[in-house]
Amino acid sequence: MRIPLGIHLGERFTLDETWAAAEMAEEFGFDSLWVAEGRLTRDAISLMALLAQRTRTVRIGSGVVNNKTRNAALMAVTFKTLDELAPGRIICGLGAWWEPLASRVGTPLRKPVTAMREYVGVLQSFFRNEEVTFSGEFVQMEGVRFDRMYAENVAVDIPIYAGAVGPRMLELAGQTMDGVYLDFLLPVSYLDFAATHIGAGLAKRTDGVTSLDMTQAIAVAVDDADPAAALDECRAFLTLYLMQQPHIAEHCGVEPELVTRIQEVAGWPARPEDIRRAMRLVPDEAVRRVCAAGSTAQAAEKLEEYVAAGVRVPVLNPLGPTKMQTIAALGKAFS
């Protein structure tokens, strides 16, 4: 079965691994590379620019950048610049960020759907090469547009994807955006929920768009010699998320009592030893529900379930010491 795949390039990749993953993506005909910017590790834009120079065919998306730390005009011209480097291959993936990090850096989450609606509307006006005047609760612009002094002043075709989880953000994506970049650790059953709310947004559109591109980051680990070790890599990842982003538990089928017990083991940020202790509480069934882990065949079967449920591009988030082998194994399985 031929499935278009992506790779989520997060903080677990060294720079050398990042370049190697990009080479494999080109070799196996992958759909896209997605550069993460959630934690205070690396910024996404620098890596996206380098990847644009190092690749020729694969699309490059931010997976995701937040709508708080970059002014909307700066975000627009940043992605216009990236499109100059890789014409037609850049995707602007946006998210609302997460707590407690947002508050710790002075930009607490408040009315995230309203803030995203304003931000996306302004970005789209910039991308259409319009002069932008907007006075909102979160975004203000007065008579600004792309500057024509140093570069050609033209519209750019840059799709905007929402890093959405909740119903209102999914509906906003359906109403205003081009695609969704769904989060890790959401089960196949979540996709019916997502499709319902995206559909509600699509029904409100007046531009003739009737569907959204659906991509989803999926935690994966493959070890054909020791499938149980691969499962444990995903178990540790799930444990970390339940510790620090418990809203995921609402959708991934984990009981609130288990989340509470896990959080009692760890502080913020969680230390590796905290995760090792807490992950013993997470059963195999919970891991398999939201991750593609084990042998190549087991991981491939899980990815096929996501595709059958409506995901066009499963984006591999490979974990553990075998992450490069995981990319190669699944690239071969679906190429």
CATH number, position 168: 3.20.20.30
Q: Which domain does 90 fall in, by range?
A: 6-221+292-334
Q: How many CA atoms lie within 13 A of 139 on its CB side?
A: 28
Lowest mean pLDDT, pick from 38-42, 172-176, 185-189: 38-42
Mean pLDDT, residues 82-105: 92
- Residue 155 pLDDT: 93
Residue with the bigger pLDDT between 248 and 76: it is: 76
Length of the chain: 335
What is the rounded average pLDDT of the residues 108-116? 94
In a domain, 257, yes or no: no
Q: Is residue 234 part of a domain?
A: no
Residue 20 lies in a domain: yes
Position 272 scores a pLDDT of: 86
Residue 268 has pLDDT above 70, yes or no: no
- Asked whether residue 281 is domain-assigned, the answer is no
Tell me what the pLDDT averaged over the chain comes to: 94
- pLDDT confidence of residue 30: 98
**Does the pLDDT of residue 198 top 90, yes or no?**
yes
The mean per-residue pLDDT over the stretch 268-286 comes to 88
Residue 28 lies in a domain: yes
Q: Is residue 267's pLDDT more than 70? A: no
Confidence label for 72 from pLDDT (cuts 50, 70 and 90): very high
Q: Residue 181's beta-bridge partner residues?
A: 215
Q: Using only the alpha carbons of the chain, give its radius of gyration.
A: 20
- Give the CA dihedral 299, 301, 303, 305, nearest 10 degrees: -150
**In a domain? residue 264:** no
Q: What is the pLDDT of residue 307?
A: 98
Residue 321 inside a domain? The answer is yes
Tally Cβ neighbours within 10 Å of residue 90: 23
pTM: predicted TM-score of the whole model, two decimal places: 0.94
Q: Is residue 139 part of a domain?
A: yes
What is the rounded (10 degree) CA torsion for 78, 117, 164, 56? -30
CB of 183 within 8 A of CB of 248?
A: yes
Into how many domains does the chain fold? 1
